[in-house]
Amino acid sequence: MRVRHVSTAVVRHAAVRCGRCPALIAFAVTEAGRSMPIDVEPDVAGNVAVHVDGAGRIRARVVSRDRPVLGYERLHLPHFATCAAAQRSPATASNVVPLYRKRAARRVRESQVDQLLPDPG
């Protein structure tokens, strides 16, 4: 497979606005074939190695100790990590009850029922 050195111009050319915040992002294809939003500008703090393949597609993979950045790749941040809208939104909706609360309430109800039943012994 032919690989080209990543030019920020290629990534900038593919840039679009995030649907949730005003940031410019580009979509890269992961090794699993899924689309991943990345910030347009390279960042040394990033953990996603980006390159352009022979067909001109922007490709991305997560950097690890076993698979460090190669000479033709540039580090970018995944937009999930920098999206201002994602930072502001709550972890869960206000109408969602965490499971630990439901389980605790069930235990209380079960213990109350046990207290009302006569002792079988």
Distance of alpha carbon 64 from alpha carbon 27, whole angstroms: 21
pLDDT, one tens digit per residue, over 47-63 is 999 999 888 899 999 99
pLDDT, one tens digit per residue, over 95-116 is 666 666 666 666 666 666 566 6
Question: Domain residue spans in the chain?
Answer: 3-91
pLDDT on residue 66: 95
Asked if residues 62 and 12 have their Cβ atoms less than 8 Å apart, the reply is no
